[in-house]
Structure 1
């Protein structure tokens, strides 16, 4: 007969029987109802078997009658484990706290992720989820069923066609399918499109309205380019003029570019400080004291702890203070001129719009004086030259 799991739970020992009359000992044990489990002969005059803890204390009379001796080889079962734990109380208590802590940590929601949203901001979705009890460090058993949460989130987020809530481990993913809503064009009053600058028209294309000028025509600021009035003197209709008009515009710039520049350089010296970060708070653990530099820049880099692909709310932060020094550097007149022109071109493109193109430049005046280069430059730019002008239609009495 083999040892069952119930016998192991109650406690069992492996013993070796030797000396005396081993065969008689086995027969007497069977007669007394003492179970010798997994009985096997190891050598002549010796045998090994498993004995339950309760039957082990019934062997003494039988050993006296047969003159045998018994030696305990192994002990296993719950009673012996409890005895070991009783000797190591602090270890057992730590193990218990560890198991409970791991269970509690795995029962928390560590992160909430929003996917599939393009129009609805993620902050709005997370705010609606918080109202339904979905937020970091929430107990998982306090959450409602996924179907219920999906319906409640859809009710609180207009513009969604479907919302799915999925929980994997300690992470919750909110998948959103937004409703397709046709673009609503704002209502506009009738208008003209007029020129924003004095220019020469290079391209005109009216999507709605009546073109008034042609290509290669010089126009002044405020001239009507695309009219919002259609028809003749008897039958007229006012519309919202729409279209594209591009033209050549001249921009005159006075550029001042210094020959002496102040340049920031790094000396290579640094002071490193380490911080322990937990739940949005940082505790400094090294690098105390003020930085021994007169001028410096601070660079921070935070590293979060990741466990099974989940970013935990604690980690460490490295703060480096880099010593800097400002030096004066002299540039040539050609370099100052090139840099001044580059800044002027960037300023023109920023003001004229992303579709503007500089087609030419003409240097009108240039001189170097008092450590600076002075230039007057005329830029020729092709750009959009339209702006809206409300159309007020007065009907006769």
Structure 2
């Protein structure tokens, strides 16, 4: 017999019937007009068939009458599905609650970013935004239109020419364009440019003031390079003066270089995070590594182009060991010189140029290389010195 219609909705069971009067049982099924399908013999005095739930309960008097027994092998259909759902109602409730929480979280403002402000404090902008209804945990649907927010914030924040408000998921970005302010020209007293160290002048350009030295002149610390006195007038001297300066360095560099590397061993930890709160799910236990470094990766849930403030955070606690590499004397000398050159540039500006270097003394002792090195550097040598007018002049 063919499968009756709507069996998935009505529900059906697959059963095995056994007993000594199987033929009589089949005849009783036909007499009572009970619909069965996929009826087949599976052995002596045994048959297999399928029947809808409503007819299954009509089998009992027929089984009793023919001295047969029945065993349910399989259940299918909507009634059984809802029965399983009802048994797991707390799981389903939690599942629904989880999605309601995600929907709620994605409907609130979680982060507010302020960009473009230089002179106006971020706190003042956030305070003005809060007065307009922009603050963390505010419902996004309650925010006014972006054009209105832009106009109101521009009006409230003095010193701005435009304030833009944009929403991306749960994040609100406030972009500020500050109004151009006229430059306050600070009145400076007359001053000269003097040498801040002993040097040999390699370049001099006087934009304002009277040059007092020439190229290749040797100067000492405090020597006037560009005077702020032009005739009877005192001015603010301006210009560019560069010269050769000698820097003596005492360098100490170890022959054994220590470097931290990963061993490949790691412990993984997993967290479920909501905003700034994280709940650890796995990876409990003490980390036994003597040295370690933790690498963190965030994987937020997304909806369309929005990143939700909820997701998965994984941490890899990597075991670290210290690797010692023995270097030759030549390699150690090069490394020490490079470190000294970086120090020279950091102290004298990126435009400083190392012309030459000379190792005055070098020795190796107790696993270290000791050097005394003289560097010849071309650098800016000018600094300002106010002109003091004495009474009576």
Q: TM-score, normalised on structure 1?
A: 0.68
Corresponding residue number in structure 2 for 1:180: 180
In the TM superposition, what whole-angstrom CA distance separates every residue of 1:335-363 from its partner, at most 9, and x where no partner exists?
11111111111111111111101011111
Name which of 286, 295, 310 aligns with 2:282. Answer: 286
Q: How does 1:1-397 map to 2 (within 5 A)?
A: 107-114=107-114, 125-140=125-140, 142-166=142-166, 172-231=172-231, 236-396=232-392
1:168–1:299 Cα change, 3 Å = closer
Measured at CA, do residues 304 and 185 of structure 1 come closer, stay the same or move farther in structure 2, by a change above 3 Å? farther
Determine if contact 1:303/1:317 at 8 Å carries over to the other structure. Answer: yes
For residues 102 and 254 of structure 1, what CA distance do their matches in structure 2 show?
Answer: 63
Partners of 2:369 and 2:322 lie apart in 1 by 22
1:156-213 Cα offsets, whole Å, 9 max, x none, are 3232112244557765454443322343343322211111110011111122211111
Shift of 1:301: 2.0
The separation in 2 between residues aligned to 1:104 and 1:266, in whole angstroms, is: 42
CA-based RMSD = 3.2
- Ranges in structure 2 where 5+ consecutive residues have no aligned partner: 1-81
The secondary structure found in structure 1 opposite 2:273 is strand
Q: Which runs of 5+ in 1 are unaligned?
A: 1-84
| Aligned twin of 1:36 | none
Measure, in 2, the Cα distance between the counterparts of 1:341 and 1:104: 60
Task: Describe the SS at the equivalent of 1:137.
Answer: coil
Alpha carbons 2:169, 2:307 under 8 Å: kept: no
Q: CA distance change for structure 1 residues 255 and 302 in 2, over 3 Å: closer, same or farther?
A: same
C-alpha separation in 2, matches of 1:128 and 1:228:
49
Instruction: Give the length in aligned residue pairs.
Output: 307
Query: Could you give the per-residue CA deviations for residues 282-334 of structure 1, whole angstroms, max 9, x where no partner exists?
Result: 11111111112222222222222222222221222211111122233321111
State the Cα deviation string for residues 113-135 of structure 1 (Å, max 9, x = none): 55665765666534432232212
User: What is the alpha-carbon distance in structure 2 between the residues aligned to residue 146 and residue 267 of structure 1?
Assistant: 52
Q: State how far apart, in whole Å, the 1-side matches of 2:244 and 2:99 are.
A: 77
Task: Output one character per residue of 1:41-63: Cα deviation in whole Å (capped at 9) or x when no partner.
Answer: xxxxxxxxxxxxxxxxxxxxxxx
- C-alpha change, 1:208 and 1:111, in structure 2 (3 Å) is same
Q: Is the partner of 1:375 in helix, strand or coil?
A: strand
Q: Partner residue of 2:50?
A: none
Q: Deviations over 1:63-120 (max 9, x none)?
A: xxxxxxxxxxxxxxxxxxxxxx9xx997999999899878756653355455665765
Conserved? CA contact 1:111–1:310, under 8 Å: no
Query: Could you state the TM-score of these two structures normalised by the residue count of structure 2?
Result: 0.69
Does the Cα contact within 8 Å between 1:258 and 1:336 map onto a contact in 2?
Answer: yes
